[in-house]
Structures are given as structure tokens and as C-alpha cells.
Structure 1
Amino acid sequence: MLPLVELEVRHLRALCAIADTGSVRKAAVQLGMTQPSLTTQLRRIESTIGGLLFTRGQTGSRPTPLGHSVLSRARPIIAEMSALVTAAREAACGVGGLRLRIGSIGSRAVTGWLRRIHQRLPDTDTTIHIEVSSNTLLQLLATNQLDVAFVHEAAGFPLHVPAGVERRVLIAGEPRFVSLSAAHPAASRPLVRLAELAHDAWIVDPTADEEAAALRRVFTATGLDPRLVHVRDNTTAADLVASGEAVRPCQPTADPAPGTVIRPLAGDPLTAQLSLASRHGSLPLRELDALYGDLMASYVAAAEASTTYRAWLDRNGSPLLPSVGSH
């Protein structure tokens, strides 16, 4: 086997991404590549090394014994390179230890979270990295490219949590609502049944962890088979929903785009766990507690600002908001 130094770091990252996601397709999304490009790159890597690194089947891509051997040497190299880049950036910026690198999914809570952190830590250089994929955020945490991350996990589809990464649950079961055209027949209802949307196309983001799989599982359980439309651009997705061309699952704290409404789904068939992730020992416990408190306060404020979510919380007797469940 040729030494790994003859491969570029990007090649090693590609191998680790395939192993971590269990799929060339998912790895390509994570790396921002097309699947054919990553497949071609994998073949070249295997040709360079001189053996098959992954077996491909219906269950995905799994490392061969040779693959495990290469990965065991590749991961420390990637970690060292990430640490080197981080140290170099710190030296160039002169920020030293007064630095906090935050990662997050897109959420209405993020702005308030950052504002609270800035108020509490005015002398800290705080950066934010937004990702659609929580698995990507966890990998960035594991390789010391982030300090904490706000992530979500679709019910029934566990995240790939790297060794050394811990999570503290923020919301155990956040419901997913649905965004639909204000002219949709179901828009006038306070609660929408899936059957009422059986003939609609559903927009999903192909880069979001298991969003399409979670929808398919719910549809299969209810005997429905709507069409899924892959759209990555939020502006286009909002326009398609407003025009009545499709509907879209969304967070309950989301604001409706012009021409759309947001409604809860009867029975809450789609839920997600929200949590704050960090590397073990990377931050003092007191600081993690403070970051968690900042995020929770921001999430509560976002929930309080949504009339539709407040009504859902009230119906379900949730203790999330002080005024909810008390009447």
C-alpha cells in the first residue's frame, strides 16, 4: 500500500465522509460535490492505494478491512491538519483564547442567541457557522473547527455522533409544521391532516439530514404516496409554496413567507430533538451552562413570537412558556 502522504488531505476527507455517512451520495452532499464526481474520486483513490476501500450495497457503503486500515491513519492526519489551520488562524488574528466558534442549523432562535452571547461576552470574538446538516456540524465539532453547535435530530433517524462529542437536550420533541399557500383549501383550518395534503407535492432540501426519509416513513405509515420535490434554495421554495405548486415542512418558530400560512399537522407525525452539542472538556461547564441558557432563552422568545406555535403549546399544555398551559 502506498503511504498516505501521496494522497491529498481532501482525498482523506472524502474517505472519512463516506465512512461517516455510510453513503457516497450523502458524503457528496456533505462535501458540496456531485455524486458522480465523488465516485470518480473514490475510484482514483482506490487505484492509488491498490485495493477496494468500500463495499457498495443496498444498505450503503461500508469500509473493507483495507478501508478500515486507511481510515485509522487518515483520521489523525485530518485532525492534525484542522488543528494546524485553527492555530494558524488564531495566530494571524491575534485573538488568542478570547474566541468562541458557534455552529447552528437555521433557526429563528439564532439571532437572539448571538445577541445574548455578545451581551454576556463583549470581549470575545464570536463567529457563527450555519449548516443545513446537523451531521456536518457534529463533524466540525469533532475536528475542533467549532466549540459548540445547535443541532436537530429527526425522530427515528439518529445523528452520527463522533466519539468525544456530547449533547444536551434543549427540546425533546419539537413538532414540524407545514407551510402552504394562503389559498390552499386547508389553509383556513387551525390543524391540518396529512390526508388533506395527499395530492400536494412536498418540497424537501436534499442537504438536510434524513428530511426526505422522515417524510417517506410518515407517508408509508399512513398509506399516502405524495411526490417529493428537491429544492435547496429557500427563496424558490417559498415562491413555489405561495403559488400553490407545493407544500413544505417547516420549523414551528418559522415566519410565514408572503402568500403562505404555517399550520400544525394533526397528530404531530414529524418531530425532532433539538440539542446543544460540544466536545467533552472543550469548554468549562459553567460556560456551557451559560450558552445553553442563552439558547433556551432565545428559543423561548422565538416560540413566544409565533402565534401558531403558542397556540400549539397551549393545546399541549407545554411548560416551555410561562404563560402556556396555565389556562
Structure 2
Amino acid sequence: MLRRVELEVRHLRALCAIADTGSVHKAARQLGMTQPSLTTQLRRIEQAVGGQLFSRERTGSIPTPLGKFVLCRARPLVAEMTALVSEAQAAASRAGGEYLRIGSTGSPAVPGWLRRLRARFPEADTTFHMDASAHTLLRMIASNQLDAVFVHEVEGSPLRIPDGVELHVLVEREPQFVALSATHPAASRPVLSLAELAHERWMVDPTADGEWTGLRRVFTEAGISPRVVHGDNLAAADLVAAGEVVAPCQPTAPARPGRVVRPLLGDPLAVRLLLATRETTAGAVPDTAPVIEPAALLADLEAAYREVAWASDAYRHWYQRHDDSSSLPFTVVA
């Protein structure tokens, strides 16, 4: 029954996603749909209500007066439905035993983290959800859809933390590197400057919260204005290898055929790595105890991160060059 009701609310959820992201394309990514499917769904909704809900402007999809009216009624319904389904699922999970619902914006450390969590909690039903948007994952924590998420906060573009969400810092400042083709003239250099990449096409993912804002800030401070291409990380990997674009990337990014990863001179672009959980009041026992224990989750995440950090040649060499720096997130042991 709940599933049936949830399906009936999906149209309202789609409208809220379009309004929140300002784009049918971004909303489709957030909802896990294709853009043509969401466009078709929007047309059906507009036919049902008898009017246009969004106008397409240069700045994106803007709600019409009718759209604003519908959204005003839709948002509380979607919020209530989300809470109802989450609470029902949590109750069902508790009845069947311990569970752990993990999410992440994506990192090479995630597989190792999940492996350690399953070893630590062998009786728990562990599930995983990935989303490019840290804000989406944080909202899922607040609405009890997830128990813990591993996200990043781009320097200069702080995340909006919902009420009831608690943050635990894994790495205060992780430098972001650049991925470029192995055939690029600068690929043989151990460290690259933004200036020598000023004429390249840079690919950024517009659905990754803060990524473009952070990169634009760095470009402005460096006094350069390179060409920018928008796309997701999967598309970027192939285009980088083909020499069509360069792209910012995590320092833990694994080696791929035709692609190299290099640090940027001065580490101008950085993120803060965070584990987010729901707040618990002093003395309270979480519904999922002892599974949702932030200290244990963070310890396993740190071990997984250390593993991939040391496995990355580029990141390992960066550590070695900065071995006297207090900015190191933790000691890496060979």
C-alpha cells in the first residue's frame, strides 16, 4: 500500500526536484531518470492540472504562477510522504534485525569502507546509495532515509546542514588534483600550474554541489578564464583520456588507461571530507544501535581512505613532499 501511495506522489516529487535544481536535466539526474522521461512526465502533469507549470528561461526552468501554487501545496505532501515511507521502512528493518544505510557522493574509499563495515557488523543489512549532490544526501539523513553519508564540502562553498544532522571531519583540507590525457605535453611534469592549463577545456559536473563555484573562484583568483564544459564524471573519464578535456579530480582517483592525475601548484582547489550522521541526544540509544555508532563508522572510513591514499602514486608523492606540513590529515604508514 505504501509503495502504491509513493508512486502516486512521484509526480509531486518530480515538480519539487525541477524547482529546487532549476533544470529538468539536473532534476532527472537527482531522481535517477533520463531527461526525456522526466520531460514526458512533466507534460503529463501539466495536462492533468490544465496549465504550464514551468517556463524555460536562460537561467533555467522557472515556476509559472500556476507552478508556484502547485509547489506550495506539493512540498508539504512530499515531505510527509517521505517521512512516512522512511519511518515504515525503518520499523520493518528493525523488526527484521539490525540495518545500516550508507550514502556517498562517490570516492575510491567507499568500497573499502563498506567492506570494513560489513566485517564489523556481519549481522546487519547494509545498503548503499550514491548521489552527486551532497545536499541531497544530507537531506536524506535528516529525513531518516539514510544513517550515515560520506560527502565533501568544496572550499569557499559551504554546505547547508539540515537540522538534526551532525558532522564528523575526516580530512580538514584535501587538495584536489587535475586529470589529463597521458599524451598531454604537461603529463610528464610532477606538478602543474593553473596557468599552463589556462587554454584547456575544463569539464565540471554541475550536479556536484559547489564544484563549479569552487573552480570558478580558483580561476578568478588566478586571473584566467578557461573554456568550461559541463558533464558527469563518467563522461569526463573518457574525454580526458581522449585529450578533449581536463578535469578536477580527487587525489585518490585510481589510474586509468590513457589518463594521468597530477597535483596543482599551491593546492588552490580543496575540499573538506565529512561523515554526516543524525544527531543523538545525550544518553539516548539510536534505533539502530549498536550499528549506527559514529566513532566506529568514522574509524572504518579513515582506514579505507588511508588505504586508497597510499595506493595513489600522485597522492603518495604529494604526502611525501608535504611530510613536514601540519595540514596533513593523518599519518600514512607504508
TM-score over 0.5 (shorter chain): yes
Deviation at 1:144, TM superposition (A): 2.1
Counterpart for residue 266 of structure 2? 267
Counterpart for residue 86 of structure 2? 82
- CA 1:323–1:33: 2 relative to 1, 3 Å: closer
Residues 16 and 71 in structure 2, CA contact (< 8 A), matched pair in contact too: no
| Secondary structure of residue in 1 paired with 2:186 | coil
> Relative to structure 2, which stretch is displaced further, 61-70 or 221-230?
61-70
Deviation at 1:123, TM superposition (A): 1.5
Deviation at 1:313, TM superposition (A): 2.4
Counterpart for residue 119 of structure 1? 119
Residue of 301, 309, 333 corresponding to 1:303: 309
TM-score (norm 1): 0.80
Residues 46 and 52 in structure 1, CA contact (< 8 A), matched pair in contact too: no
Counterpart-to-counterpart distance in 1, 2:305 and 2:24: 35
TM-score (norm 2): 0.79
Counterpart-to-counterpart distance in 2, 1:168 and 1:222: 32
Residues 51 and 66 in structure 1, CA contact (< 8 A), matched pair in contact too: no
Counterpart for residue 225 of structure 1? 225
| Residue type at the aligned position of 1:153 | E
Residue of 58, 68, 72 corresponding to 2:76: 72
Structure 2 stretches lacking a partner, 5+ long: 281-285
Counterpart-to-counterpart distance in 1, 2:87 and 2:269: 38
Deviation at 1:299, TM superposition (A): 0.8
Counterpart-to-counterpart distance in 2, 1:153 and 1:46: 40
| Residue type at the aligned position of 2:42 | Q
Counterpart for residue 192 of structure 1? 192
1:146 corresponds to 2:139: no
1:49-107: per-residue Cα shift (whole Å, max 9, x none)?
A: 999899x996986996885565334422331133335545x38xxx7231111111221
Deviation at 1:197, TM superposition (A): 0.8
| Residue type at the aligned position of 1:320 | P
1:125-164 equivalences under 5 Å are 125-164=125-164
Counterpart for residue 177 of structure 1? 177
Counterpart-to-counterpart distance in 2, 1:61 and 1:210: 21
1:249 corresponds to 2:248: yes
Deviation at 1:213, TM superposition (A): 3.1
Counterpart for residue 35 of structure 2? 34
Structure 1 stretches lacking a partner, 5+ long: none
- CA 1:230–1:222: 2 relative to 1, 3 Å: same
| Residue type at the aligned position of 2:273 | L
RMSD over aligned CA atoms reads 3.5
Identity of aligned residues (%): 51
| Secondary structure of residue in 1 paired with 2:254 | coil
Counterpart-to-counterpart distance in 1, 2:30 and 2:193: 33
| Residue type at the aligned position of 1:290 | A
Deviation at 1:276, TM superposition (A): 0.7
> Relative to structure 2, which stretch is displaced further, 159-168 or 61-70?
61-70
Counterpart for residue 207 of structure 2? 207
Aligned residues: 314
